[in-house]
Amino acid sequence: MLSEFLVKKGFVVHGAESEEETLKVVQEIGGRVNIVITDLGLPGQIDGCELIERVLAQKSDIRVVLMTGYSRGKLVNRLPKEGCVHVINRPFSVSDVLTLIDRGGN
């Protein structure tokens, strides 16, 4: 749903269903990837915080949005100290994500 909304708004979206796919996209077309939007809860062995660390290790200037139901306070010790990482809490609307993207994540 979020990816469909972003495509309709004119964004190019590269979906990934795993950590490996995400890292492959960032590695292969990293110069054209401006933002990664991920969830804290991911299928598999790692969570969104670990994925963020791996993405930032490949491309340190990328912006990351982490979607979660947890408060930022519970995540602050798990988020990378460097990099442009933003947390958006559920429930949120797709327009909330667009606002975050449009204002550069600040």
pLDDT of residue 104: 59
- pLDDT digits over 53-66, tens only? 999 999 888 888 98
CA–CA separation, 52 and 47 (whole Å):
9
| Residue 18: inside a domain | no
* Structural domain includes residue 28: no
Position 82 scores a pLDDT of 67
Cβ atoms within 10 Å, residue 16: 15
Asked if residue 81 belongs to a domain, the reply is yes
Q: Is residue 16 part of a domain?
A: no
pLDDT under 70: residue ranges of the chain = 72, 76, 82-83, 103-106
**pLDDT for the residue 78:** 76
| CATH code (residue 45) | 3.40.50.2300
The alpha helices in 9-60, defined as continuous H runs, are 19-29, 48-58
* pLDDT score of 95: 85
